[in-house]
A and B are shown apart, each in its own frame.
Chain A
Amino acid sequence: MKKIVGQVTVEEKNEIQLLFERRNGLNELAKILTPENDALYQKLVKDMGETGTKFQQWWDGMADKYQWEGTVDGHWEINFETCEIFLVTNN
């Protein structure tokens, strides 16, 4: 099930969209980069950790700010077109 539980500003949406794109880019780069390329590999590992942290911080911060409805078995999603936040649950 998917229902709207809130909305963020365009600026806030831009922040998470950038992190989302970067995280995707890092994940797909990780598939081709090997430890033999040491400098770039180390940079990637560090970057993946930092980006993941920032990503989670954004969701935590926004949830705290807007007090969205949540459930234990669900997760939030954002629609980049509309800035709407959805609560997605399995039932």
Chain B
Amino acid sequence: MSFEVAKKAIDYILDNENDSNFATESVIWDFIGGEPFLEIDLIEQITNYIKSELYRRNHHWFNSYRLNFTTNGINYDNPKVQQYIKDNYTHIGITITIDGTKRKHDLNRVYKNSSRGSYDDVVKNIPLYLSQFPGASTKVTISSEDIPYIKESVLHLFSLGINEVNINCVFEDVWKDGDELLFENQLIELADEIIDNKLYEGNVCSFYNENIGKPLSTTTSDQNWCGAGMMLSIDAQGNFYPCTRFAGYSLRNKKPIIIGNIRDGINNNLLRPFLSLTRSSQSTDECINCDYAYGCAWCQGENYDAADTPTIYQRATAICKMHKARVRANNYYWNKLYRKLELEGAEKPAEKSFDINC
């Protein structure tokens, strides 16, 4: 993306402060790549423009904005990156995607034109990262080949000092026969480790959530899970998407859904399907009436990409068996944990939250 494109996008967004699409109390400017820190000079230029324009215009977002990054962490200790962090520290959120153990991480993350994995170059930056962002979390995505490494990876991340591991299965149809059983066993073994070693005190793994796996009512719980359409994604040419998953480079089978651009603005009619979509209007009766519905997520982009026709209103169900396996392991986790605490006479652990102080 050129700075000119970024500038026009920012101008469009700020020019339309009162438009219903931007009538939010706060804003997150999210820099995603590829790898955003490869373009730290451009990001700095963009950030400075955002800050000064918000202020110059007396825009209400000046009092409530954040700058978010998801990075592979390799350039984290780069002096320019560090200076940028220092200059914007109170507004920055950074997630380093480290997938777990070296063998798990290097399975997917290798340097271009090389078989060398990036684990060693990332993990050396974790202490610096945690010293700057003590409550930092990481995000792990699981595909079929990753299943055998789930337990060791989560435990490894905890041991690195990353206390919050957000982890989920990919929504794409990558699952083989029997994956659900392997997955369930991994999560049960992980549950044993977490509970037997009291790792639940101070650590969170998002796989375990007390509320998931229950039926959902269409009258009281019919909302959309996915945030597509509630964000604005901008590509290097200045095209707008409801989410980056609808850009051409993210899609396998379908045409991109471009909802506008920096010159013409947003075509609100193209946003309407995203903003009015509900769980019931895109699901089959099997999903609507599923006993395990709570916590079964979807990605609107994958729904679109996998649909029989060019619609976002067809829920992809490749994740179904993995969700049900997760629910079974989750039930195991909470049953085991509560029994243990009951026998020990201890109180139920409070969910971890990170304090924000001034």
Contacts and interface: CB of A to CB of B under 8 A. Distances in A.
Pair from one complex: yes
Contacts of B89: 28
Given A22-B62, A25-B62, A81-B353, A32 B358 contact: no
5 contacts: A20-B358, A28-B88, A28-B89, A28-B91, A80-B357
Given A77-B357, A79-B356, A24 B55 contact: no
A86 B358 CA distance: 10
Per CB-CB distance, the 10 closest pairs between chain A and chain B, nearest first, are A24-B90, A20-B358, A77-B357, A80-B356, A21-B63, A32-B48, A22-B63, A29-B51, A31-B87, A79-B355
Contact of B358 (A25, A44, A80): A80
Contacts of B88: 28
B112 interface: no
Given A21-B63, A28-B91, A33 B356 contact: no
B284 interface: no
Interface in A49-89: 77-81, 86
A86 to B, nearest CB: 8
A40 B56 contact: yes
Contacts of B22: none
Given A22-B63, A28-B87, A81 B52 contact: no
Contacts of B52: 29, 32-33, 37, 40
A49 B355 CA distance: 28
A45 interface: no
Interface in A9-38: 16-18, 20-22, 24-25, 27-29, 31-33, 37
A43 B57 CA distance: 12
A29 B48 CA distance: 8
Contacts of A16: 358
Given A24-B91, A25-B91, A27-B90, 8 more contacts: A16-B358, A22-B63, A28-B88, A32-B52, A33-B52, A78-B357, A79-B357, A86-B357
Contacts of B355: 79, 81
Contacts of B87: 28, 31-32
Contacts of A81: 353, 355-356
A21 B356 contact: no
Contacts of A27: 90
Contact of B65 (A25, A79, A86): A25
Interface string B54-77: 111000001111000000000000
Nearest to A32: B48
B260 to A, nearest CB: 28
Contacts of A33: 52
A80 B87 CA distance: 23
Nearest to A24: B90
A37 B353 CA distance: 42
Nearest to A77: B357
A83 to B, nearest CB: 12
B358 A78 contact: yes
